[in-house]
Amino acid sequence: MIEYYDVSGCYILRPWSFFIWQQIHRWLDGKIQELGVQNAYFPCFVSQEALRAEEEHVEGFAPEVAWVTKSGTSELTKPIAIRPTSETIMYPSFAKWIRSHRDLPLQLNQWTNVVRWEFKQPTPFLRTREFLWQEGHTAHSTEEEAAHLVRSALDLYSCVYTDLLALPVIKGVKSLEEKFAGSVYTETLEAFIPATGRGIQAATSHYLGQNFAKMFGIRFEDDSGQKQLVHQTCWGFTTRCIGIMIMVHGDDRGLVLPPRVAPTQVVLIPIPGKEHAGIEARCRELASALKDRGIRAEVDARQTYTPGWKFNWWEMKGVPLRVEVGPKDMAQGTCRLARRFDGLKKDVDQAQLSSCIPAELDQIHEAMLEKATRHRDDGIATVTRWDEVMPMLNQRKLILAPWCESAESEAEIRSRTKEEAPKPGLSSDAAETATILTGAMKSLCIPLMQPLMPPGTKCFVTGEPAKRWALFGRSY
């Protein structure tokens, strides 16, 4: 999937992982266009002045901004930043382009690399100093229209997870502490990693209100000739999703790829026998019939490896379906299917192979999503009192609890869970605990789907009246 690189925090996306990003790109880009959003490309550089125009926003990024100060051997007169995100790059142009209500909505998107020079431990896909993403930026005449677009983008992102990556996500709103700096509110998708019991932010969509419009002077003349500030949104989807996919679906034998994004969906492996040449030719015929149906099929006819070695190799690479053709299969006109994700095997007539595979891949997708959803649901503990929190957290669960949503309680949650976390070397299974069950719990989101809350329900932290159910957890 990746190769390490000699600049810390940067990784190479090899064809196997880049293909997955391309599949997502192609699908999501089409859906974004259907929203009436157009693609464009803005420079990767931003001047100091523009970057600093929106203070609250820049504060969130300032420590992570990479600065270009030299070209060749000469010093630049002013340092120039590399985009960590493009609000301050795009919005001065928005101010130029928008004059009248007829220029609205202005809806642009770009697919780019961005740079955030983080100093936390880098992790492939999850925390990298350069990553690839799509960022949408829109301006509207009304808050309602903008809010609708914020949600539409979130819904698309959710479909990428469920329909392409076979991953369940929880839609929600970020707390004020956790929202994007400069936004009025941030909608989010949160995923769950069963192996570590941690939540992970999967994508976000922001309503910016008129915050940036004020700073950059983005005004339009309404129907009645009045100057008004626009209402803005921005929303982004990154290569992080590939990391989430790997962590949720992967197993001890390696990757498990969901069929719709797998570079190779079906690998055909000839099992040599006396009729060896005939078997390989038959595999190629079968593969060709599959390709005609739009299935990404491949024959592994390498002479230098045994079938067993090849089984392991393709399992490690996560290919959803293996088709074996041996001498016995040839005699019977059948072949053997083996599913990567659950090991299920069955024999199928060769003549029926190409017609049954599309449904088989869909079934694998559904089964993977179902399994991941079950694990996710099992990973959420509903809690109403603080003393239930740490035991659940240490059983690698997320916490769904009634919350008052105050900033103080959010700080309180972090500090208490940090203090109460098991200390390495003191707990019963120290080694594992030390690596996994550390770190403070924080709010992940306030889910859009709220269980009924009985009247008089108290906040699980402060005992004050609870506003809504919120999801908490250790996170990435």
284-292 contacts, C-beta under 8 A, 24 or more apart? 286/323, 286/325, 286/335, 286/350, 286/353, 286/354, 289/353, 289/354, 290/266, 290/353, 290/354, 290/357, 292/354
- Nearest to a second copy of 115, 459 (CB atom): 115
* Pick from 307, 304, 318, 313: nearest CA to 279: 307
Give the rounded distance of the alpha carbon of 27 from its chain centre: 14
Q: How far is the CB of 65 from a second copy (least distance, A)?
A: 6
Binding site for a second copy (CB under 8 A): 3, 5-7, 10-15, 18-19, 21-22, 38-47, 49-50, 62-73, 79-80, 82, 92-93, 96-97, 102, 108, 112-113, 115, 117, 129-130, 132, 302, 304
Write b or e for each residue in 134-170: b if 16 or more Cβ atoms lie within 10 A of its Cβ, otherwise e: bbbbbbbbeeebbbebbbbbbebbbebbbebbbbbbb
- Nearest to a second copy of 11, 469 (CB atom): 11
- Nearest to a second copy of 40, 277 (CB atom): 40
- Token digits of residue 25: 């790109």
d(CA 350, CA 328): 12
- Nearest to a second copy of 149, 353 (CB atom): 149
Q: How far is the CB of 123 from a second copy (least distance, A)?
A: 15
**Quick check: bond before 105 cis, omega within 30?**
yes
94: left (phi over 0), alpha (psi -120 to 50) or beta: alpha
Beta-carbon-side half-sphere exposure of residue 32 (alpha carbons within 13 Å): 28
- Nearest to a second copy of 182, 199 (CB atom): 182
Q: How far is the CB of 195 from a second copy (least distance, A)?
A: 27
Q: How far is the CB of 71 from a second copy (least distance, A)?
A: 4
Q: How far is the CB of 381 from a second copy (least distance, A)?
A: 38
Q: How far is the CB of 69 from a second copy (least distance, A)?
A: 5
Q: How far is the CB of 463 from a second copy (least distance, A)?
A: 40
- Nearest to a second copy of 304, 428 (CB atom): 304
Q: Is the dihedral of CA 413, 415, 416, 422 positive or negative?
A: positive
d(CA 212, CA 363): 46
Beta-carbon-side half-sphere exposure of residue 233 (alpha carbons within 13 Å): 30
* Pick from 446, 473, 447: nearest CA to 390: 473
Q: How far is the CB of 5 from a second copy (least distance, A)?
A: 6
- Nearest to a second copy of 38, 450 (CB atom): 38
Packing angle, helices 143-159 and 15-34, rounded to 10 = 150
Q: How far is the CB of 167 from a second copy (least distance, A)?
A: 22
* Pick from 443, 441, 387: nearest CA to 415: 441
Written as one letter, the residue type at 114 is V
Q: How far is the CB of 304 from a second copy (least distance, A)?
A: 7
What is each CA distance from 280 to 295, 299, 301, 355, in whole angstroms?
19, 8, 7, 20
- Nearest to a second copy of 100, 382 (CB atom): 100
Q: How far is the CB of 280 from a second copy (least distance, A)?
A: 17
d(CA 223, CA 230): 14
- Nearest to a second copy of 302, 345 (CB atom): 302
Written as one letter, the residue type at 129 is R
Q: How far is the CB of 235 from a second copy (least distance, A)?
A: 18
Q: Is the dihedral of CA 299, 303, 307, 312 positive or negative?
A: negative
Sequence-distant (6+) residues with CB within 8 A of 278 are 330
Sequence-distant (6+) residues with CB within 8 A of 187 are 150, 151, 154, 171, 172, 173, 174, 204, 205, 206, 207, 448
- Nearest to a second copy of 124, 402 (CB atom): 124
d(CA 399, CA 337): 40
